């Protein structure tokens, strides 16, 4: 039987991987050191700005910039559409950043600073989408003193940003495993990616109202009583109940990893095995045998960091715009006129 040429095989495999809504379309056109000739200082500029800002806020900023990257990639792909202001989005209307899942995001100012410097040095060359990808990597890497993963570059910026798409596409902290798997699958990400990328919850915070249904129930008289969630460690639940106070509390935050909240490590999986996953979506990983089969190995930090490197690079290729698609925004908050 005649064998298909290698190039054809690659195309067939890629086509299979691209089935679904949020596809990895132009990923093959991304490459390391994309700006080597057009803007040689690009990666160093982002790194220096991010490292300086993380030094001022080491506990919170890495999580903010990593979450910014995740939320951007899950809506229209990694195209910096999340950065567009509502008054500037093409076609008008409310933009992604003003959708409910994104209102608690931070780190926009860091991206703005990097973009301003790069526009002064290399106007119209470096995309906001690439800055977001680099900033996430550089922020998380600070604690290690080395780059945790390499970032392939060459993304271009989208010109459409819709709050409605953020509401439908960003995973919810209350999602069950079936919903999570379908959501990730629509982006070309599989169950392994889902389990590993969930490990990013080893840093950052959660607002009480996002998990209060695991802590409180309303009685027939309208009073609030403690809930019993069998998937949540009882001592941990009591601790959270004390911290949050009431089911409607949307001001108080708690660390997603109670054992090492500011360190990017494998404790997320240790916590999961102890029933200390903060969100229902965290506990949902324990309801799938494929996920459970991965969790024990991921408690080893070296293994987790290696696997996370591969998964986050794969996520960074979701739905990217390259070549002459999209644009290179001059201001990350505003579509070029």
Mode of pairing for the β-strands spanning 205-207 and 216-218:
unpaired
**Structure confidence at residue 91 (pLDDT):** 55
pTM of the model: 0.90
pLDDT in tens, 146-172: 999 999 999 999 999 999 999 999 999
User: In terms of Cα–Cα distance, which of 106, 105, 81 is closest to 94?
Assistant: 81
User: Higher-confidence residue: 8 or 293?
Assistant: 293
Q: How confident is residue 26, by pLDDT bands cut at 50, 70 and 90?
A: low
Q: Is pLDDT above 60 for 121?
A: yes
**Structure confidence at residue 92 (pLDDT):** 63
Phi, psi of 216 (to 5 degrees): -130, 150
| Beta carbons of 131 and 46 less than 8 angstroms apart | yes
Query: Above pLDDT 70, what percent of the chain?
Result: 90
Mean pLDDT of 328-335: 97
* Spatial distance between the Cα atoms of 246 and 229, rounded to a whole number of angstroms: 16
**Structure confidence at residue 225 (pLDDT):** 85
Query: Which residue is catalytic, options 33, 37, 71, 267?
Result: 71
pLDDT in tens, 176-202: 999 999 999 999 999 999 999 999 999
Torsion region of 136: left, alpha or beta (phi above 0 gives left; psi -120 to 50 gives alpha): alpha
Tokens for 232? Answer: 């949540």
* Spatial distance between the Cα atoms of 55 and 59, rounded to a whole number of angstroms: 9
Q: How confident is residue 5, by pLDDT bands cut at 50, 70 and 90?
A: very low
Active site residue 71: yes
**Structure confidence at residue 24 (pLDDT):** 45
Long-range contacts of 294-300 (CB under 8 A, 24+ apart): 294/192, 294/195, 294/196, 295/195, 295/269, 296/269, 298/195, 298/196, 298/199, 298/266, 298/269, 299/266, 299/269, 299/270, 299/273, 300/266
Q: Is pLDDT above 80 for 111?
A: yes
Q: How confident is residue 93, by pLDDT bands cut at 50, 70 and 90?
A: confident
Q: What is the mean pLDDT of the chain?
A: 91
Number of helical (H) and strand (E) elements in the chain, helices listed first: 13, 4
- CA distances 164 to 76, 81, 191, 237, Å, are 12, 13, 25, 33
| Beta carbons of 304 and 143 less than 8 angstroms apart | no
Weakest mean pLDDT among 25-39, 92-106, 192-206, 233-247: 25-39
- CA distances 333 to 90, 107, 108, Å, are 11, 13, 9
Q: Is pLDDT above 60 for 20?
A: no
User: Higher-confidence residue: 136 or 28?
Assistant: 136
Weakest mean pLDDT among 137-141, 219-223, 312-316, 327-331: 219-223
């Amino acid at each position: 039987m005649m064998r298909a040429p290698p190039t054809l095989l690659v195309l067939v495999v890629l086509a299979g991987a691209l089935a679904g809504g949020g596809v990895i379309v132009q990923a093959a056109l991304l490459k390391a050191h994309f700006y080597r000739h057009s803007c040689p200082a690009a990666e160093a500029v982002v790194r220096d700005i991010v490292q300086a800002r993380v030094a001022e806020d080491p506990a919170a900023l890495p999580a903010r910039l990593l979450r910014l990257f995740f939320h951007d990639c899950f809506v229209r792909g990694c195209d910096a559409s999340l950065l567009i202001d509502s008054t500037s989005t093409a076609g008008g209307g409310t933009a992604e950043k003003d959708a409910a899942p994104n209102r608690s995001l931070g780190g926009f100012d860091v991206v703005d600073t990097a973009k301003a410097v790069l526009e002064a040095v290399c106007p119209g060359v470096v995309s906001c989408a690439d800055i977001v990808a680099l900033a996430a990597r550089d922020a998380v890497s600070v604690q290690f003193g080395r780059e945790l993963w390499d970032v392939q570059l060459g993304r271009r910026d989208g010109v459409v940003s819709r709050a409605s798409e953020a509401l439908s596409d960003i995973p919810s902290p209350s999602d069950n495993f079936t919903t999570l798997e379908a959501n990730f699958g629509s982006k070309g990400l599989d169950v392994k990616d889902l389990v590993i990328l969930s490990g990013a919850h080893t840093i950052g915070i959660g607002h009480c109202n996002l998990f209060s249904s695991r802590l409180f129930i309303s009685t027939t008289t309208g009073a609030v009583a403690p809930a019993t969630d069998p998937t949540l460690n009882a001592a941990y639940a009591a601790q959270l109940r004390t911290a949050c106070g009431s089911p409607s509390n949307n001001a108080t935050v708690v660390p997603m990893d109670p054992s090492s909240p500011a360190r990017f490590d494998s404790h997320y999986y240790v916590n999961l095995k102890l029933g200390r996953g903060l969100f229902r979506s965290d506990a949902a990983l324990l309801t799938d045998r494929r996920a459970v089969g991965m969790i024990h190995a991921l408690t080893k930090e070296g293994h987790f960091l290696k696997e996370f490197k591969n998964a986050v690079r794969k996520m960074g290729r979701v739905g990217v715009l390259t070549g002459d698609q999209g644009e290179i925004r001059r201001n990350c908050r505003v579509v070029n006129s």
